[in-house]
Amino acid sequence: MSIEIRRPTDDEWEDVCRADGRAFGVAYTTEEMAERRPFHDMTRFRIAVDDGEIVSTAGSYPFDVTLPGGTCVPMGGVTWVSTLATHRRRGIMRQVVEAVHADIDERGEPLASLWASEGSIYEHLQYGVAAQIRMTTIDPRRTGIRAEFRPAPNTVRYAEGEAAFDAMADIWERFRRGRAGEISHDPAHEEAVLARRQRPEGALSAAFYLLHDDGYAIYRIEAKWNAGHPAHTMQVIEFAAVTTEAHAALWHALLSVDLIGEIRSSIIPLDDPLPFLLENQRALRTTDLNDSIWVNVRDASICFGARSYRTSDRLVVDVDGTRWAIEGGPDGGSCRRVRTRPDLVTSHAWFSALLYGGTLPSALVAGRRMTARTDEVLHRADLFFPTSLAPYCQSHY
């Protein structure tokens, strides 16, 4: 019997959850499936069915994503990509993901993006790495915020429940527009996240919320009493600061929490100013660096035409035989098809990686993913595409 690729029905939600859970080693409870259902639009999902059994899944969430310069465009956040072990190496996942891409295109969303569970899959589906994720630790016993950067008393406060949710929603929208790669938050999804964060998660406590007028931080605690020598682990799970004052004040509060032996996070960008605020910079350590967001530009004219550029220039990029003239500067840009001689030649995946401005063309050339007509052209491209802030996304989907 042939594999059928189709949209799941609303009644198949639990079957989709079970199929995804088998692939990722997760056993969703009935309560967890019910809790997640409200923010999953089944019309955005596609499944592969073999003799009545769901063997592969993929879907997308609707987001707005920030591009360099602060412009936002609609994006399909691809998610739940999975195939059962019994049906791998048959090209089934590719068919399901391409069906999701077709749905994204039909909805007029010019960009698809995802978090990759494995780094060897998505280049074949025309995705390129556009941002990185940094895992860090801080020993707060060895450092604090320098005296001249510490906030006035009562600048940061604790909040709970709906009061925290309402304040954070406004701050997040302001914050995410300042960093290429960050996305909008759907209220229904955030309500479910808030509910989950009010419960312990494994060894971690329920979430604590720190609020500033221009920022917030969310953390959990793993208690380690060590027979009277406490050294708890703090896990910072979300951090948004719109101003430098909010950034310093929130970190001062986090570093001041009692009984903490280590602060862990994966929400500090590569170019975050935190080290310069610390009394001892070496107390902040990067323990791992990994790819995070992979992007697949569905409509180059919209995506590259919506962002701004560091210098004023015009470059022609050959992408798998199609040539795009990208012209722009700090105030905006344009992108259109042309037939003129290309300055850069690359594949769709690594053309997509240029969108957020965190991947240097010279790195792609050195990595054999791109060629440049001349060294002078490559130098211009390295000045043209990057952003002043490293692209980043702390929102998992």
Please write the tens of the pLDDT for every residue from 182-227: 999 988 888 888 888 999 999 999 999 999 999 999 999 999 999 9
CA distance 79 to 59: 5
Quickly state the pLDDT bin for 248 (edges 50, 70, 90). Answer: very high
Quickly state the pLDDT bin for 54 (edges 50, 70, 90). Answer: very high
Residue type, 173: E
Say if residue 27 is in the same domain as residue 151: no
Say if residue 12 is in the same domain as residue 55: yes
Say if residue 326 is in the same domain as residue 286: no
Please write the tens of the pLDDT for every residue from 61-109: 999 999 999 999 999 999 999 999 999 889 999 999 999 999 999 999 9
pLDDT number for residue 29: 94
Q: What is the mean pLDDT of residues 3-16?
A: 96
**Does some domain include residue 352?**
no
How many alpha carbons lie under 13 Å from residue 348 in its C-beta half-sphere?
17
Count of Cβ atoms closer than 10 Å to residue 37 Cβ: 14
Say if residue 163 is in the same domain as residue 232: yes
CATH number of the CATH domain containing 313: 3.30.1050.10
Say if residue 259 is in the same domain as residue 202: yes
Question: What is the domain range of residue 283?
Answer: 134-290
Quickly state the pLDDT bin for 330 (edges 50, 70, 90). Answer: very high
Say if residue 283 is in the same domain as residue 138: yes
Quickly state the pLDDT bin for 160 (edges 50, 70, 90). Answer: confident
What share of the chain in percent tops pLDDT 70? 100
Is the pLDDT confidence value at 356 over 80? yes
CA distance 332 to 32: 44
Say if residue 206 is in the same domain as residue 342: no
Mean pLDDT of the chain, nearest integer: 96
φ, ψ at 19 (rounded to 5°):
-65, -45
pLDDT number for residue 82: 95
Say if residue 77 is in the same domain as residue 178: no
CA distance 163 to 146: 31
What's the burial of 154, exposed, middle or buried (CB within 10 Å: 0-12/13-18/19+)? exposed
Q: Which of 205, 240, 237 shows the shortest CA–CA distance to 218?
A: 237
Is the pLDDT confidence value at 161 over 80? no
For 19, the token pair is 């199929």
Is the pLDDT confidence value at 1 over 60? no
Which comes out higher in pLDDT, residue 163 or 113? 113
How many alpha carbons lie under 13 Å from residue 162 in its C-beta half-sphere?
0
Torsion of Cα atoms, 76 then 82 then 87 then 88, to 10°: 90
Q: Which of 282, 286, 256 shows the shortest CA–CA distance to 271?
A: 286
**Does some domain include residue 144?**
yes
**Does some domain include residue 129?**
no
**Does some domain include residue 391?**
no
φ, ψ at 136 (rounded to 5°):
-130, 160
Say if residue 167 is in the same domain as residue 188: yes
* Whether this model's pTM surpasses 0.85: yes
Least-confidence region, from 114-118, 143-147, 192-196, 231-235: 192-196
Q: Which of 348, 342, 344 shows the shortest CA–CA distance to 372?
A: 344
> What does DSSP say about strands 53-66 and 72-83: parallel, antiparallel, or unpaired?
antiparallel
SS3 176: helix
